[in-house]
Chain A
Amino acid sequence: MDSVLGILGGLLAVAGAAFLLLGGLGLVRMPDVFNRIQAGTKATTLGTLLLLAGVACLQPDWALKLFLIGLFVLFTNPISSQVLARAAHRSGVQRSPLTSVDKLEEDIGERA
């Protein structure tokens, strides 16, 4: 039983680390701040959750606290990303030339 949990925990932790790696790769490859935030948010959320689940398998005593940490990550990660994105947009950062449409810019232009 211990070894099954150990293997499962190890697999989950490695999967989490893999997603975190992909998130890091996304940060490097994406062309502008919004796309980078996208890569960062999703990969770190799932990566961290998987990693926490893995640790919970390896250390069942910590499971409750790890669950709480996961809950916090799940609630705070998207909020911080959204606020960062909004701040970036308001301060007028350079957008990737690939950007096809910006409804927010259009609406602000109408109001101004």
Chain B
Amino acid sequence: MSKARDPVLMFVALLLFWVLLNGSLASDVLIVGALAAAVISLIFRNGLGFFSELRLTPRALFTTVLYLGFFAKELVKANLTLARIVLASSLPINPGIVKVKTRLKSKMGRLMLANSITLTPGTLTVEMQGEWLYIHWVTVDSADVDAATAAIVGGFEQYLEVMYG
């Protein structure tokens, strides 16, 4: 992967972000934005894996869309599950911290995985060490590493693997 691509991508993303925030394409706005974006993308040349590690193949982009859909579904499910627990008078929880393993190699992929896990049904990433993630689970189904991995990581990993590797 070419290293020259990263600052350029970051520059474009920052400038786009600036324009969206300003809601204007006036030349003075564009000039200030371009200057700031250029300085930032040069200083933080190697800073953001988000741009360098995301694959830009059609398959990866298509997977990103699928991932967003799956994620939205899981987020709604998470909230309904939580609502049921909170509203039940018996407060049916069985909390614990389980250990799961990820196949993802890239930093960004792991970040996205940890964030996704935090936002989905009853799971919260507490600690990451290399390929191991420690997850707080409101309703522990199984403390076994493989079973917990399949239940918590499996769904997201298949998408993120294509997007980030």
Contact = CB atoms under 8 A, between A and B. Distances in A.
B97 A38 contact: no
Nearest to A81: B118
B98 interface: yes
A12 to B, nearest CB: 13
Contacts of A43: 79, 82
A34 B78 contact: no
Interface residues of B, number: 38
Contacts, number: 126
A8 interface: no
Contacts of A38: 82, 122-124, 136, 138
Interface of B is mostly: mixed
Interface in B97-153: 97-99, 114-116, 118-120, 122-127, 134, 136, 138, 140, 143
Given A68-B20, A82-B124, A103-B134, A46 B95 contact: no
B127 A89 contact: yes
Contact of A25 (B86, B93, B96, B140): B86
Chain A binding site: helix, strand, loop or mixed by DSSP?
helix
B143 A101 contact: yes
Interface of B: 17, 20-21, 23, 75-76, 78-79, 82-83, 85-87, 91, 93-99, 114-116, 118-120, 122-127, 134, 136, 138, 140, 143
